[in-house]
Structure 1
Amino acid sequence: MGSRQVNQAVRRHGGFSMVEMAVTLAVLGILMASAMPSLGDWMANARIRNTAESIHEGVQKARAEAVRRNQSVTFWLVTTADPKVLSDDCTTSSSSGSWVVSITDPTSKCSVAASPTTAPQIVAARAVGSGGEGVSVVATQRDGTAGPTSITFNSFGQVANATPIGVISVNDGAADSTRRKYKVMISSGGRSLVCDEAVTDTTDPRICPAS
């Protein structure tokens, strides 16, 4: 049976000829290639957003626990050799997406299980993990002073330490306008929010307030 007869037979049974299959694959390849840049932006923005929301969740947890326990609780940014694991090689850092909420300094104790008595009395913790790869985190005080690694809340939910984190910038360091740039901002009264630096409309709740 010749190729023409094969194609006719395939058509009669509702299938595709080799030519049609090749054309379909070629078109699919073109569509996938054109979608790759936007897909890359979407994935990068998802990592940035997830990291910002994770950090904000930790800050909120620290404040809520300070009020609930009627004692000071601290949110710490920490870094480890492996960003996927909170291990005992951890140190405090102003440029990491991993965090620990605890009563005392968690340096070298980040793998300790949550406990009300065992130092550092961890309440909650999260490693930035693979979901935060390529994401830049920079913490500053509210006035822009660099270097703070923690923020302590007292039993009233107010900021209690002398040099607290006031702003945490979360982005991927790219100048590309398609990449999101978020901030986690904490007021002196202890309230926190995630805002989008690209938003300029003052009526939009995503806008970043003046720090």
Structure 2
Amino acid sequence: MLTSSRALRGFSLIELMVTLGVAALLLLAAVPAMQSWVADARVRTAAESFQNAARLAQGEAMRRSRTAVLVLTDSSPTLAATPAAGGQRWIVRLIERSVDDGAEDSLFVRGGGEAAAGGVTVQGSALTCFNAFGQLTTLSSQATGLDAECEAPTSSTANEFVFSRDGGRSLKVLISRGGQVRLCDAQKTFSDDHPDGCPSAAS
């Protein structure tokens, strides 16, 4: 049985060029949206990393019955890192005791730098201190030994850390005086429709 020449016919050069052109246009249209999605994902990764760091500091303070501090820094995340408000890296460390009572030689617990790696802007205080009850506490720079102080919020507010990128997503990590750690979307107000939103300034 003979096969018709029409059945064996492939794409013409014009058809192939039109198809490739349409595919290229679709790809160009998708690239900005993909770049925006990736940048927003980096903001979330940085905020979640910091949220976990706050919970780690709180847990270490309660487990070891001593003050733990969450430090923002622009330096490498090591024990000797210099605190910096709005730093893109963080460390969790313990505050040295004034009396040698057999405490661990190393006060460094853990560090991270997701905000720096993702180009995420951070706003927030350099030090956040947790006491042995897992609550935020105020300490002078002399007490922390880090040339920076910890300041606990009033009962009606929370220490606030903002993670953002230009023209894109903005997330907050809120740490209340009692020690509650919460991640919320700064571009939404907390409500029944937006349980992931942040509380309004008045609430």
Aligned length: 174
- Equivalent position of 1:118 in the other structure: 105
- Tell me the equivalent position of 1:137: 122
Match of 2:196 in 1: 206
**Contact (CA 8 Å) 1:159, 1:190: kept in 2 or not?**
yes
Letter in 2 for 1:205: P
TM-score, length of structure 2 as denominator length: 0.75
Cα distance change of structure 1 residues 73 and 130 upon mapping to structure 2, 3 Å threshold: closer
Deviation digits for residues 9-41 of structure 1 (CA, Å, limit 9, x no counterpart): 9x628x544333322211111001111221121
Could you tell me which runs of 5 or more consecutive residues in structure 1 were left unpaired when the two chains were aligned.
1-7, 106-115, 140-147
Once the two structures are superposed, what CA deviation does each residue of 1:120-148 show, in whole Å capped at 9, x if it has no partner?
x1111112366421x11010xxxxxxxx3
Determine if the alignment matches structure 1 residue 21 to structure 2 residue 48. no
CA RMSD of aligned residues (A): 2.5
Give the equivalent residue in structure 1 for 2:155: none
Deviates more, 1:68-77 or 1:121-130: 121-130
Deviation, structure 1 residue 98: 0.9
Tell me which of 69, 76, 81 is aligned to 1:90.
81
* Residue in structure 2 matching 1:71, options 45, 66, 76: 66
Gaps of 5+ in 2: 97-102, 140-149, 153-158
Instruction: Please list the CA deviations of residues 143-171 of structure 1 after superposition, one character each: whole Å capped at 9, or x if unmatched.
Output: xxxxx311111111111224437110111
What residue in structure 2 maps to residue 169 of structure 1? 162
User: Share of identical aligned residues, percent?
Assistant: 29
Report if aligned partners of 2:43, 2:115 keep a CA contact under 8 Å in 1.
no
Q: Partner residue of 1:111? A: none
TM (normalized to structure 1)?
0.73
- The answer to whether the aligner puts 1:128 opposite 2:145 as a matched pair is no
